[in-house]
Structure 1
């Protein structure tokens, strides 16, 4: 049988390849498979890191939920200050009453002791041995009236003292409850700040220039001029919730600080500040009015006119001038 020439295909038998060619084909197939796998991986959408704007929006959204708690904290602290003052005033009133009560009780005790140890005094004995007709009954009636008057005097003092003791007891209970609430809110404040700090940690470091207040035109009272000037001087100061100045503020702390310079005292709580001013329709709002936001009034700013205000926004954002329309306006109040 004749020998076939090399590399010729015999019908009915699989073709043969040299070992070197087989290795090249194997490598090529391996490379193609790797490229295919890589192409598949590239087709999976990548999750990009959030932009600074997205992070700011997330913080703003969370702050909208956190700020009511902050203002509740301010409300409790303001009420606590008022009630502690009331308690101290009551204590001053109770002290002389307590002394009067003690002296009255001492007099009664001395009388009782004297009767017990020595019997009636000579004056009383003289009255009792009188021989005048009807005198004994009159004398006994007199003694009974004297004792009744003594009891009445003592009881009058004790009634007043009990009334003040009762009022003070209620105040002390209220102060204890509010102190506990303040402690609970302080713990929540710590949690809030930790969460805000966590969100801000992912923010790229940037430098932001904050513009000062614009020129104010129109009818502006002397008190409003002072409040605007003082508030604008704080532009760039950091937001610290619970702070009332002079170097850091929260929203109601800034408005309180600004109007305090004008001789007008506002409570460090947005809800109270709403009630401490008179209602002004938006069409009549003028620079110096307080502008409130959200249905629960948990944010406030100092209106500058032309739909702008100076306010302390939130943790991470300093005191600044912004439009009033980026939050839902609840109304305007004039505190003077």
Structure 2
């Protein structure tokens, strides 16, 4: 039976066997700690990489949100241009009205000065002193008429002053509204950039090969939807609704393969509404700039009545648009990184069909 060891008094060296045992405990503890740290580090490095399909779903959502913000930005930019023109016109009207008013006031001041220099003699006294009463009465009638003209001029000055004040108030209101629209425009652009930055960060989490596969897969799926599994797109045999629609259709089809760029209206790159805007401009028709405004820029018809050249507005908030090309197919600018292409009209929820 082993004898129990007595505790070592403070300040004394422990026996040699106890020292060896202590050293072994410390070594085992250090090894375990090191192994734990390595395991934790390896676990952090071996965190599961993002799934390509999950990344695609998140990126698609961010692109949709960016497009919504982009259409708001386009609308705000158009409002800003309109308000700038209106404010400029009102300011010009104010300047012209001010010059006219200054001239009228100057004329009245000259008449008033002439009357003051004449002494303002009473007309009855002038008649009594006149050597030719008939001549005086004729002049008096002329003076009365002149007085009436001055009174009319004075009233006109007052009316011009009121109009001038109104124009100034309108111009000030337009400038205030313009500043508010510019603030909204800046906010929308920030939202677009934030969504695009987040989408790019997600894409950067994939390898270059995976990113290329993602783009290729998306284009292939769109082609399969448009061709319905065949080797070519069947656009049917319906003619465009008008000669202008035929020109717009040809213009849109000529841009298949062009890149998508937010806020662009061609001729080298487009966003969704920009492609419609540019294509119809080639036919001499100026559409509203945004998809939401384009939804109300013509005659509403049903999808069953759609003809080549008609606009198809997608999603409940109408933030996307394409051009019907026939056979249940549209041509549209889809999203950043993709190019203008064909798509089955049923690939997205249809909100409206419009014939410009």
1:275 aligned counterpart, secondary structure: coil
**Structure 1 residue ranges without an equivalent (≥5):** 1-33
2:354 aligned counterpart, secondary structure: strand
Structure 1 residue 155: deviation in Å? Answer: 1.2
Task: Report the counterpart of residue 231 of structure 1 in structure 2.
Answer: 252
CA distance in 2, matches of 1:260, 1:214: 26
Task: Report the counterpart of residue 177 of structure 2 in structure 1.
Answer: 174
Change (3 A) 1:142 1:225: closer
* Equivalent residue for 2:293, pick from 251, 260, 272: 272
How many residue pairs get aligned? The number is 289
- Which deviates more from structure 2 when the two are superposed, residues 184-193 or residues 253-262? 184-193
Quick check: 1:218 aligned with 2:217?
A: no
Structure 1 residue 178: deviation in Å? Answer: 1.3
Structure 1 residue 253: deviation in Å? Answer: 0.6
The answer to whether the 8 A contact 1:78-1:267 is kept is no
* Equivalent residue for 2:265, pick from 241, 244, 247: 244
* Equivalent residue for 1:150, pick from 143, 150, 153: 153
CA distance in 2, matches of 1:60, 1:286: 29
Task: Report the counterpart of residue 85 of structure 2 in structure 1.
Answer: 85
Structure 1 residue 197: deviation in Å? Answer: 2.0
CA distance in 2, matches of 1:310, 1:228: 9
The answer to whether the 8 A contact 1:310-1:322 is kept is yes
The answer to whether the 8 A contact 2:58-2:199 is kept is no
CA distance in 2, matches of 1:190, 1:238: 18
Q: Deviations over 1:227-263 (max 9, x none)?
A: 2222222222221111111111111011101111111
TM-score, normalization by structure 1: 0.74
The answer to whether the 8 A contact 1:63-1:314 is kept is yes
Q: Deviations over 1:120-156 (max 9, x none)?
A: 37xx677752217xx8xx8897786455323112112
The answer to whether the 8 A contact 2:234-2:327 is kept is no
Structure 1 residue 47: deviation in Å? Answer: 6.2
Task: Report the counterpart of residue 13 of structure 1 in structure 2.
Answer: none
CA distance in 2, matches of 1:185, 1:235: 28
Quick check: 1:303 aligned with 2:306?
A: no
* Equivalent residue for 2:127, pick from 130, 155, 163: 130
Note the 1:1-336 alignment, pairs <5 A: 48-114=48-114, 118=117, 120=119, 129-131=126-128, 145=148, 147-203=150-206, 204-206=210-212, 208=216, 214=233, 216=235, 217-220=237-240, 221-335=242-356
Change (3 A) 1:129 1:287: same
CA distance in 2, matches of 1:62, 1:69: 11
Change (3 A) 1:128 1:163: farther
CA distance in 2, matches of 1:236, 1:51: 28
CA distance in 2, matches of 1:84, 1:157: 24
Structure 1 residue 157: deviation in Å? Answer: 2.0
Report the structure, 1 or 2, having the larger helix content. 2
CA RMSD of aligned residues (A): 3.3
1:242 aligned counterpart, secondary structure: coil
The answer to whether the 8 A contact 2:329-2:343 is kept is yes
The answer to whether the 8 A contact 1:200-1:316 is kept is no
